[in-house]
Structure 1
């Protein structure tokens, strides 16, 4: 049996969903079954990332989230309902044609605005194994529990899904408790550990500084809500002889990006990189790293021994704040609330962090990639027996 996997992400804000699914695709390709993988995304920027052999993209018409948490069409001048209907039609045709043995749906069990519901029963009848993939923290516990109910996640799990993978360590974040998951579906939850160690990587390209020169690294993820951290990073004092390298992401507002490049033109030790597909190697080599609290960036940081400061966003969700605070309480990272963010405080943290002894991050499960490969292989065996 030539196994096929479809990884669906709705991608309404930033690059988190597609980056996680591309990392999962590479991990699955390295498993014993080496399945063909179709990554389904609403982010056209997914095409900027290198794809492993045997992995391809299906890009849906985009949907965007605004600052209030509402949604709209990203590019088409059309009502949101029309865009959702178009996306649903594309999904139905593609998945019926691809006939995956395993479908992994990222975060939203029924798909964005229910766009997967028309195809889920047919896939179930065809023998597709279905898994809901959930990051370690969805939101602050009260909001996460409310959203779990509003999106009818329990009902979807009961009707369609074989399992739910939680990409975290239960000792750090207990999603079942945070979301008040009913006992009837808790049995489906499998905690994988963080998708950190062994995260498939690609060449990040040469650093924009001479080899061997110490530097502090700033990471904004997609950059959509990273302007405040970017501006503070650029203005923060750095120890003598330590450069600053800031990776902004493709969604950083154009006015902020222009101001950063102007600041770099006036400061030869400040370097602005608009996009880096895989900054893990840069993170390992850095003297210290400052970043937001998005899942993928945090996993990359946790896979290194580089001192790290997380400055999470706190709206429209508190997901990043909850993650940053829980990891900080375990001594794995430092955290700073964005209301306290100033160039002076960043400079003070940097001066201490670059002299700090480097220590491996112990006491937390970082081997989620291995767990995903193991769980997926069990589903392939089930699909084989059912064929």
Structure 2
């Protein structure tokens, strides 16, 4: 196994670059869900807030257009999308995975050549999903860039992640990556103890929207229950639960946000809202939420003051099920089985579905991750930053 330690003095965050504006490239492999690009977009906005002159480029396979993607003066470069099928195998729309990976490798390398970044931040896969990032990472290192790897709070079962780290997709990563940033807290998941990560990472906290002001307690009846499934491509796991939610008289309105990839039907009494670039305002107005357990949406609900009812996907990875169980243990959520009936759903919806800032603080979950990651990135770039606290969308 690689020993993960910086091999160059340039990797030190205390080493200042030239006085020019810092240059940062963020890479995410999105092709199906919105999660990677959404996190990187929040980090990019936080970098620009701390260092307004920073040159920030975000590379993504996300084909859909969103107002938050490319906001705050961030340059967006798109690569061909790579998605996963039901078995977890990577596929492409064209059917030519090898050709798509070659094109992705070419674009990644071109971006590094043109931008000449001080910092390259790679999300989730240190060398790409099939090694297509190796040429770009090598070029970035030759140019003096610091290479950072960002990992979300929970990846999968410990056995699955350990096998991945010890497998060919991570081979040599220890010689290329200078530091690992975890977008979570060790109290939620210790990446060394559980995953065997061969380096002690920096835990930066959850990358999400700012914590909303406390809300008054919900009335005994009325209000809105919001149902969300992220991008929507696997939202059919909510079908049975949604019928149960629609049948309960507890709330005046049941509102479903259909993601851009949603193809599932909804029952009567349910209002359908078109896909939104940002659901934080909807969470802030809702009295309760029933949702899947993708990283971004679940933490947007929590920081808005909700105690969500979580319906996790359990395949091809158990990431959502693990996250749901641990958030429930922290007292921040409740978990529903996809087959839950009206009585079970109604009982949970009758419980208090709002929480206070004290509930969040007591859980020990750090939700200031965007600003912390941005500060770390700019420290590696040797950049002076604005002293004000960052508030990221």
TM-score under structure 1 normalisation? 0.85
The 1:29–1:231 alpha-carbon spacing in structure 2 relative to 1, beyond 3 Å, is farther
Q: Which residue of 2 aligns with 1:294?
A: 294
The 1:85–1:335 alpha-carbon spacing in structure 2 relative to 1, beyond 3 Å, is same
Match for residue 190 of structure 1 among 174, 194, 202:
202
Q: Which residue of 1 aligns with 2:197?
A: 181
* Distance in 2 of aligned mates of 1:197 and 1:94: 28
The number of aligned residues is 354
Is 1:248–1:274's contact at 8 Å kept on the other side of the alignment? yes
* Distance in 2 of aligned mates of 1:272 and 1:308: 19
Q: Which residue of 2 aligns with 1:274?
A: 274
Where structure 1 has 5 or more consecutive residues not aligned to the other structure, the ranges are 201-212
Deviation at 1:82, TM superposition (A): 1.2
Q: Which residue of 2 aligns with 1:207?
A: none
* Distance in 2 of aligned mates of 1:336 and 1:166: 27
Is 2:225–2:251's contact at 8 Å kept on the other side of the alignment? no
* Distance in 1 of aligned mates of 2:293 and 2:310: 6
Is 1:290–1:308's contact at 8 Å kept on the other side of the alignment? yes
Q: Which residue of 2 aligns with 1:346?
A: 345
Q: 1:166-210, CA deviations, whole angstroms, 9 ceiling, x for partnerless residues? A: 00010111112221123xx23xx100011135389xxxxxxxxxx
The SS at the match of 1:289 is: strand
Q: Which residue of 1 aligns with 2:303?
A: 303
The SS at the match of 2:125 is: coil
Q: Which residue of 1 aligns with 2:261?
A: 251
The 1:235–1:333 alpha-carbon spacing in structure 2 relative to 1, beyond 3 Å, is closer
Answer with 359-368 or 63-72: which moved more: 359-368
* Distance in 2 of aligned mates of 1:80 and 1:72: 6
Where structure 2 has 5 or more consecutive residues not aligned to the other structure, the ranges are 1-19, 213-221, 385-393
Q: Please tell me whether residue 41 in structure 1 is matched to residue 22 in structure 2.
A: no
Deviation at 1:307, TM superposition (A): 2.1
The SS at the match of 1:173 is: coil
Q: 1:63-112, CA deviations, whole angstroms, 9 ceiling, x for partnerless residues? A: 121000111112x2x42111111111121112211212211100000012
Deviation at 1:2, TM superposition (A): 1.7
Deviation at 1:373, TM superposition (A): 2.3
Q: Please tell me whether residue 120 in structure 1 is matched to residue 137 in structure 2.
A: yes
TM-score under structure 2 normalisation? 0.84
Match for residue 103 of structure 1 among 120, 126, 146:
120
Q: Which residue of 1 aligns with 2:155?
A: 138
Alignment RMSD (CA, Å)? 2.4
* Distance in 2 of aligned mates of 1:376 and 1:287: 37
Is 2:130–2:169's contact at 8 Å kept on the other side of the alignment? no
The 1:128–1:382 alpha-carbon spacing in structure 2 relative to 1, beyond 3 Å, is farther
The 5 A counterparts of 1:71-90 are 71-74=90-93, 76=94, 78-90=95-107
Q: Please tell me whether residue 377 in structure 1 is matched to residue 382 in structure 2.
A: no
* Distance in 1 of aligned mates of 2:341 and 2:156: 25
Deviation at 1:40, TM superposition (A): 0.8
Q: 1:294-353, CA deviations, whole angstroms, 9 ceiling, x for partnerless residues? A: 111122122122121111111000011111111111111111233x43344323322324
More helix by share: 1
Q: Which residue of 1 aligns with 2:181?
A: 165
The 1:32–1:38 alpha-carbon spacing in structure 2 relative to 1, beyond 3 Å, is closer
The SS at the match of 1:312 is: coil
Is 1:104–1:130's contact at 8 Å kept on the other side of the alignment? yes
* Distance in 2 of aligned mates of 1:246 and 1:73: 29
* Distance in 1 of aligned mates of 2:53 and 2:321: 36
* Distance in 2 of aligned mates of 1:230 and 1:109: 36
